[in-house]
Every structure is written in structure tokens, then in C-alpha cells.
A and B are shown apart, each in its own frame.
Chain A
Amino acid sequence: MTDPLSAAVPLSLADGPLFGLPLPELWFALVFAVLGTFLFLDGFDFGVGVLFATRGTDGEREQLLAAIGPFWDGNEVWLVVFGGMLFAVFPEVYATLFSRHYLLMFAILGGLILRGLAPEMYEQRHDEAWQRRWGQAFVVGSIASPFFLGVFVGNWLFGVDGMASIASLLVGLAVVSLTVVDGAAYLGVKTRGDVRLETRSFGYLAQVVYLLAAVAALVVGSRSAAHVDLFSLPTLGLLGVTVVLAGGYVAASRAERHYLAFAAVAGQVYGLVALVATLLFPLVDPVTGLEISDAIVSTLPLNLSSIGAALLLPLVVSYFVVLYSAFSGPVDEGESYG
């Protein structure tokens, strides 16, 4: 089934990996890096959503919504790209992982629907009952999305075949607390005054919960998953770095070095996905025992996806730079864009 057009495709694309690069391993890393970017960027949207529950006045609530208003949609696309990339390069992993966690996937989607819709609805009307309800929906969606996503990542990492295990529930808790830290650090950059001061104490609390939950998840999870080696050098190293960054976040935030604090949180998020990736490696799906080399697509589509990603991802980064610089600087109480 080939057309005459086929002669136009350079055969070399099907012959071997581009420039002889270890593309399967690079893609494995890239997929997790994209997941990490989603967790970092949309993570602060979720965190702001959780912290929304702690704000009493209209003005402050508007301020939080304004702080994420222009950004959340772009941030969420990293999840779409994560799904698309997994599908494109590890189709079998995408298919078995998603269908195995059928109800969990829809729980994530339900959370995302609430989180996406609620702020939009909140702004539509200004009566109290309406705003109370959509405010609650926003909080629930902002907790549910990262929680179920964390459980999913936990199931993936520990090779859980059922709905969830204690360890994956702990990962869920860890991810929710990490997003709260992320949100608080973001508000440190994006707001001033009371909001900044009050949300940051929640950030410190969440930081402690994150460390405890993450360590507990690892300890519990490693008992039933042979491939999770707690005492390997990379694991201990990443854990050490995380603890240092956690301390760094609190210290920087107290010293009013908000960008630094935010960066320390970013480091922790990428540390988390790096930990998941190194613990899995070279497996991509512990339940089926699929390794990177079994699950990767054949050379031609792999090369094509690599060219696509190499050309497009730098552009994508530039879009985010344009967007974030167009709306740089803090938002004040009661302020909203538009």
C-alpha cells in the first residue's frame, strides 16, 4: 500500500536513529521532562486553586484568579503534549497504562473539567451563592486533579495493577502538597501584602507534608516493587537534593527572595519526576515488564517525532516567554486583567 510519492521520503530516516543518538532513552527522559513541566506550571495553578479556599474576601479571591488567568490554559497543554508524546513514541505504554487505570483517568479528567470551568463560571456572575458554589468547585477540582494524577504516577511507578495502593495514595498526597508549595511560591512572586504573607505559611506547612508523604510513599512502595531500589545512589542523591531545596525554599521565602524560592520549588518538581524516571529505568511499565527498548516505536516514526520535537519545543518555550513577560509583575488586590 504505498503511493508513488513514497520515493520522496529519504530512506535514511528509516535506516537508523538520527545522528546515531540514543533516541529511545532520550524520549524516555523527554516524556518525563514534559510531565514535570506540566506539574510545575499547572502545579501552581492547582496550588492557587487550593489556596483559594483560604481567602475570605472578594478582592483577594479575584486577585488569585487574576494571578493565573492568562496562564493556566497554556500550562495545561503540557499535559496534552505529555499524552500525545507517550502515544507517539510508546504507544503500547500509553494504551495499556491508560486502559488499566480506566476509572482513575476519568477521575483526573473530571478534576480538570471542574478546575477549568470553575474560574470561568465564577467570573460570569457576581451574586454570592453563584460565586460560593463555583469557588468550591474550583477548590475541589484543584485538589482532585493533582491528587488523582499523583495516584496515577504512583501506580505507574510501583506497578500497581488495581485501583490504587497505600503507596500510590501517598504519592497523590505528595503531589497535592507539592502543588500547594508551588502555588504559594508563585503567589510570592505574583502578589503583595497580606495575601503573600498569609499564603506562604500554608506553603511551609505543605512543604513539610510533601517531604513526609514522599518519603513514606517510597518506603511503603519499595517493599512490594522489586525495581524500586531505595538505597541506590541516584535515589539517595535526588532525595538529598529535594531536602536541600525544601530548606532553600523556606529560607528564600522568609528572606523575601521570591524568585529564588520559586526556583527552589521548580527544582523539587523536576526532582520528583527525575526520581520516578530513574526508579523505573530501564522499565517503562513494570506491570507488563515492558522496557524502553521493547516499547519504543520503530525507527522511522521515532525519527520523525524527534525532528518535530526538536523544531517545535524551542518555539513553544519562546511562546511561554512572550506570554509571561506580557503579564509580568504582581497583581494587586481586586485587580483583574481584561
Chain B
Amino acid sequence: MIDPVIASRLQFALTTIVHIIFPVMSMGLAPFLIYFTWKEIRTEEQVYEQLRAFWTKIFAISFVVGTVTGIVLEFEFGTNFAAFSTAAGELFGGPLAMEGMMAFMLEATFLGIFVFGRERVTDRLYMISSVFVGLGTWLSAVWILIANSWMQTPRGYEVAMQSGQPIILLVDPIAAYANPRFPWMYVHMQNAAVLSVALFMTGVAAYYVWTNRDTEFWRKTMKIGLAVLLVTAPFQAIHGDAYGRHVADTQPQKFAAMEAQYETDSSVGLKLLAFPTSVEDITDPHAEELFVVEIPFVASLLASGDDPGATITGLDEFDSENPPVAIVFWAFRAMVGLGFWFILLAFWGGYRWLRGELFEDDLLAKALVGSSVLGILTVELGWIVTEVGRQPWVIQGVMKTHAGVSPGLTGTEALITLAGFVGVYAGLLTLYWYVVVRLIREQAPTRPATPNRDVSGPEKGVPGDD
């Protein structure tokens, strides 16, 4: 029978990977919705009302699926990682309780008003609701990322023994909750969410532009999405670069896995491109078996901040076993690669826009359509780097993952639920996709396809398009 440790890890991986899709949608949509609501109330232009109404529908369905998948995660710490929860409960339970009281309550109650209440409440209360819903989603990320960042860079605790079991005691809440990883993680995650939604919006809008069924609504969507992309995509890469340095400082073993650096070395170059030289090495890439295009000294320089000769500790140097290097290495490369692709897309679109040809470039439209869900994929890749790269630790340097799993859990039980989740979540994702596509097809204002693209269509006379 399957090892309950493996099954629990796989199950946690699957359930978080599915869950995060929906928070990304809701956290990313939140600022857009606040903006649309504000403009709708201020300008009374129809297009903003349409934008607000349409994207709220996407938000609502994302929220529901986010809720049902989120509760699963909250329970799973107890069901599958009981030893971890018992040992770390003092530090870890608090943020989850705060998340519930401070964030989810705010979000879930005002969402009722935001989704169902446009005709019922005053503009003012409606506006407030949109802000509170958005604030709720962003606050929930604060607390959950406090919990996760503490697992990456634990601070402010002491380990004591209680009836033969190690118990992690909270001694300094400020050090623990404002741990060094938290600000990095929060900024990178929230920007990633906005970026992913901007890509999604732009992609959907580009589809209508490309098929000549665009209206004022979709043109506006495309411009707003692109504008946000122009800011968030470069920022994500600049920030990610500095983030990498922080990871090198605080989790050197993970950093070595990201770079597939086995031997400790000084004056290490930054690998711009790194590919294993033979097929076998794809699953276990070693530094010396990589074909690399590198800038000399730069990795050392980046990892240290100022010293081109700085040493990077290799994986062989650590006492604990290595994380699965190939997964971390490839996921990291894929994230960074996609990150640069998003920048390219943003600049390409920006250039066309500047020249007034934004809606004329079919290749651009296709590229945007094809990239619409890549933001979310990139978030998954980044999380895989973070979580798989932390292995074999569940709490870096403090508790190993296998020691955190529920002691009484049997392989059979774990397998039953794992198989159940594979089935249920496959269905859930299919349904979500189906509903979103249906909403886009049927609920958004479009005009029938016309062979002649010069026809400016029914949006004629609607003010507000610049």
C-alpha cells in the first residue's frame, strides 16, 4: 500500500495547486473591480457598468470554488499533518484563526452585497462593499503567507519537549510573524495575482478583437489589461531577481537546487540559459553536466549583493538530503522564462498601442489569447519552486516533512482520499472552465462577426473611448 507520507504530500500538493487558481483570480480581479465600480458610479458610463457586472460574475464563481477548496486545505493540516499541527500549532494556528476572523468574514459577507446588491443598496454602500471584498482577499493572503513564510524562514520560536514530543513555542510574535520571508513573498504573490488576471483579461479581449466581434467593452478591457501588464510584468522580474538573492541568503540549499549547483564554488556565473547536456540529466541536472550560457561572476554577485568572487554553497555541502533538484530547477527556469515572455508581450502590445495599431495586429492578438492562462500556470510553477525546494523540511531546519504527517494515518485511508480528490478536482476544474467560458461567450457584450474590420460597430457614439 502507498506510504501515507507520500500520499499526504501528493494530496496537499494537488489540493493547494487547485486552490490557488481561485485566490489568484479573486485577488487579481479585486483592484480591477474596485476601479470599475468607482468609474461606474462616478461617470455613469455604460461600459464601466458592463465591465463591473461581467467581471463580477467571474469573480463570484471563482470565489465559490475558492471557498470550497480552501476549507479543504484548512482541514488538511489536522487530518494529514497532525504531528506538524500539534508541534507548530502555537505559531501556525494563530494566523489561520486571524485569517478567518479578519479576512474571510469581511470578504464573504460583503461579497453578498457586492454580487447581489447593486439594485438594493446605495452607491455608497456598494462602493464600500467592493473595497471590503477586495481588502478581504488581500488580507487573507497576508495571514496565509505569514504562516507559509514562517515555515520557510522560522523565527521567534523555541523548541521544547513535551511528553517526549518536540513542541515549538512562540516566544517572539513580532519576529515570527514579521519573519524575513514574509514581505518578499507577499509582494511577489500579490503582483503575480494582478499580473495573471491582467493577462487573462487581455487574452479574452484579444480573442474578440481577433475574431472581429469586439465592442467598446472589449477594447476597453484590452487596454486596461495591457496597461496593467506593462507595469506588473517588468516589476515581477525585477522583484523576483532580488527575491532570489534573499532565498540564497536564507535557504541556501533551496537556492542551490534552483541552480542545480552541487559543488561549492566561488566566482559563479549567472546561468542565463541552462540545459542538461544529456537526456538522463534532465531528471537530475548537475552543474557540470549543464550546457550554460552564463555571465561570469554574476551569480556570485547576485547572491552576495556586492562580491563577484563570493562562494555559493553546493548541495553536496548540506547534511540533510536534497530536495528533488530537477523539479525545482525546471520549475524555476519555466517561471523565469515565462516571466520574460510576459514582459515581451507587454512591450509588444505597448508598442502597437503607441502606434495606434493595437487592434490590427493579429499575431499579437493570437499571442495574447494563447497566453491568457499562462500567468496562473506561472504562479503554480513559482509555488512548486518554493514548496518542493523546501524539502525535506516542512519547517526549514526545524521539522522534516515525514515527521509532520499524522501518526495514525494509514496508507489505505490516504489513498482513498487522494484518489477521491483526483476525481473530484478534475471534475471541479472542468466545471469551472466550462462556466467561465460560457460566461465569456454568453454574458459579455459582443457584436456579430463582420468581414470588414473598418466598421466601427455599435459602440459608435458611446463616449469614453480615447
Contact = CB atoms under 8 A, between A and B. Distances in A.
A240 interface: no
Interface string B421-432: 000100010010
B152 interface: no
Interface string B152-181: 001111100000000001111111001000
A99 B406 contact: yes
B154 A1 contact: yes
Interface string A314-338: 0110011011001100000000011
Contact of B174 (A8, A121, A316): A8
A323 B113 contact: yes
Nearest to A14: B171
B169 to A, nearest CB: 6
B156 A95 contact: no
Interface string A1-20: 11101101100001000000
B441 to A, nearest CB: 12
Interface string A213-240: 0000000000000000000000000000
B334 interface: no
Contact of B156 (A2, A108, A309): A2
Grouping DSSP codes into helix (H, G, I), strand (E, B) and loop, the A interface class, with mixed when no group exceeds half, is helix
Contact of A116 (B64, B85, B89, B102): B64
A77 B108 contact: yes
Interface residues of A, number: 69
A212 interface: no
Grouping DSSP codes into helix (H, G, I), strand (E, B) and loop, the B interface class, with mixed when no group exceeds half, is helix
A248 interface: no
Nearest to B157: A1
Contacts of A1: 154-158, 175
Contacts of A76: 67, 71, 108
A95 B86 contact: yes
A112 B170 contact: no
Contacts of B85: 87, 91, 94-95
Interface residues of B, number: 78
Interface in B57-82: 60-61, 63-65, 67-72, 74-75, 77-82
Max chain B Cβ within 10 angstroms of own Cβ: one of A71, A73, A91, A120 = A91
Nearest to B114: A70
Nearest to A75: B108
B86 A2 contact: no
B76 to A, nearest CB: 9
B46 interface: no
Interface stretch (A170-178, A199-207, A297-305): A297-305
Interface stretch (A56-64, A78-86, A249-257, A262-270): A78-86
Given A99-B408, A326-B125, A91 B86 contact: yes
B377 interface: no
Nearest to A108: B75
Interface in A13-58: 14
A84 B96 contact: yes
Contacts of B60: 120
Interface string B87-116: 011111110111111101110111111011
Nearest to A69: B116
B93 A304 contact: no
B425 to A, nearest CB: 10
A98 interface: yes
Contacts of B61: 120
A88 B408 contact: no
Nearest to B178: A5
A326 B117 contact: yes
A98 B75 contact: yes
Interface string B233-265: 000000000000000000000000000000000
A112 B90 contact: no
B3 to A, nearest CB: 16
Contacts of B172: 2-3, 5-6, 9
A291 to B, nearest CB: 14
Interface of A: 1-3, 5-6, 8-9, 14, 69-71, 73-74, 76-77, 79-81, 83-89, 91-92, 94-100, 102-103, 105-106, 108-110, 112-113, 116-117, 120-121, 124-125, 297-298, 300-301, 304-305, 308-309, 312-313, 315-316, 319-320, 322-323, 326-327, 337-338
Given A99-B406, A116-B64, A326-B125, 4 more contacts: A1-B156, A319-B105, A322-B113, A323-B112
Give the top 7 A-B pairs by smallest Cβ distance, nearest first.
A91-B89, A98-B78, A70-B112, A87-B93, A88-B93, A84-B97, A337-B116
30 contacts: A2-B172, A3-B156, A9-B172, A74-B109, A76-B71, A80-B70, A80-B104, A81-B100, A83-B75, A84-B74, A84-B101, A85-B100, A87-B92, A87-B96, A88-B97, A89-B93, A91-B85, A95-B83, A96-B82, A105-B79, A106-B75, A112-B68, A117-B428, A305-B94, A308-B94, A320-B109, A322-B109, A323-B113, A327-B117, A337-B120
